[in-house]
Amino acid sequence: MFKKILLATTGSPASFGAARVAFDMAKRYGSEVTIFHVVGVPTKAFSHVVNDVRTGEEVEVDEEYLAWVEEELKTTFAKQFEGADNAKIVLTTGVPAREILREARKADSDLVVMAASSGENASFHKGYPGSTLQKVAKAARCPVLSVHRESASYWGGFSNILFGTDFSKQAESAFKFALSTARELDCDLTIFHALDISGKVLDQNEIEENLIIARKRIRETYVPLMGDFKNYDIEVWEGTPYVEIVKLAREKSVDLVCLAHHTNELDPERARIGSTVEQVILRANCPVVSVSKPDKV
């Protein structure tokens, strides 16, 4: 299921965690990794000058520069390259989110892996607000795995998956992905719903009632889809969703959190990557995969 992994990286330390996870997965599951790097954002109208993604400086993209960037990436990821026979580097210019989506589509990638923050440079980002991850997560046809910290407790291989649901339509796709990953990799799967009581005044009875309803809803919605898969638990907690997800993930030593990307914000410039997903990415100790489309799950 992870035949083709697209590792979108800026080569900066912020993306080392993502790289480690991508390469570990590739080695473990025999996947092909493409290290994809957008060298710069086109600027100055139709000239051949771009702003280097890392330094923000103006550079002229030519063979020499590309060769240099490739060498840099090879050195940066030298350790990972060892033993990864199925890895290649692809360089391009353009607006990062767009180019990542273009490559994922072209290569028919099964998973995009990227850092939550790319160490974004302010100067070329003016006029392209909104984070790269957010745009990719929203439009990609395949799941998007983000790794926020290098220390993410990923010891190689997944054994505990946490699927968080808000019962949205997108959550169905996220569930399918979580289930098939759990099946294929023989993991425990926790299906979780956090009853959002933040900013609400509910009495205890009401909360209890809603918890029971949510539990029932999970049973009705997801259990029938699992067939003979038995390694699952259901948890329903009340609180602020992201806090509860992170707490549960820690408690259960989860090594992959799977959520649906969803947001009601219409303005893509303002739409954060569904605030729950974003908060979980920032706070969880493990990789977080966001799924928004039914394909590739």
Partner 1 sequence: MPQGELCNRKPIVTDEQLKLTLSDKSGKKYYAEMLELDVDTNALWATIQKTMKARLKTWLEICAHCGMCADSCFLYQVNDCVPEQVPSYKIQSTLGHIVKKKGNVDNEFMRHCMKVAWSQCTCCNRCGMYCPHGIDMGVMFSYLRGLLYSQGFVPWELKIGSGMHRVYRAQMDVTTEDWVETCEWMAEETEEEWPGLTIPVDKQDAEIMYTCNAREPKHYPEDLAEAAVLFHVAGTNWTVPSEGWEQTSLSMFAGDWECCKDNVNHVYDAIERLNPARVTGTECGHAHRATVIEGPYWAGREDGLPPKPYIHYVEWLAEALREGKLKIDPAKRIKEPVTLQDSCNYVRNQGLKDVTREIISYIVEPGYFVEMAPNKEHNYCCGGGGGFNGIGMYREQRNVALRKKMDQILDTGCKLVIAPCHNCWDAIRDLEEEYEIGIRWSFLKPLIIGMLDIPEGMRVEW
Residue 28 or 44 having the CB closest to partner 1: 44
User: Residue holding tokens 């569930």?
Assistant: 175
**What φ, ψ does residue 93 adopt, rounded to 5°?**
-120, 155
Q: For residue 32, list its beta bridge partners.
A: 4
Question: Which region among 109-117, 155-163, 165-173, 187-195 touches partner 1 (by CB under 8 A)?
Answer: 165-173
Q: For residue 163, list its beta bridge partners.
A: 191, 258
Asked whether position 64 contacts partner 1 by CB under 8 A, the answer is: yes
Asked whether position 126 contacts partner 1 by CB under 8 A, the answer is: yes
Asked whether position 231 contacts partner 1 by CB under 8 A, the answer is: no
Asked whether position 45 contacts partner 1 by CB under 8 A, the answer is: yes
Question: Which region among 22-30, 67-75, 238-246, 261-269 touches partner 1 (by CB under 8 A)?
Answer: 261-269
Count the helix, strand and coil residues of the chain and give each as a percent rounded to the nearest 5.
40, 25, 35
Minimum CB separation from partner 1 for residue 241, in Å? 17
Number of residues that bind partner 1 (CB under 8 A): 32
DSSP letter string over 60-121? E--HHHHHHHHHHHHHHTHHHHTT-TTEEEEEEES-HHHHHHHHHHHHT-SEEEEES-----
Minimum CB separation from partner 1 for residue 42, in Å? 5
Minimum CB separation from partner 1 for residue 40, in Å? 11
Minimum CB separation from partner 1 for residue 39, in Å? 13
CA distances from 240 to 71, 163, 259, 279 (A): 45, 16, 15, 11
- 290: helix, strand or coil: strand
Q: In the set 48, 74, 79, 219, which binds partner 1 (CB under 8 A)? A: 48
Q: In the set 57, 60, 209, 251, which binds partner 1 (CB under 8 A)? A: 60
Asked whether position 216 contacts partner 1 by CB under 8 A, the answer is: no
Asked whether position 54 contacts partner 1 by CB under 8 A, the answer is: no
- Counting Cβ atoms within 10 Å, is residue 50 exposed (0-12), middle (13-18) or buried (19+)? buried
Binding site for partner 1 (CB under 8 A): 42-49, 60, 62-64, 94-95, 98, 101-102, 105, 123, 126-127, 139, 168-170, 262-264, 266-267, 292-293
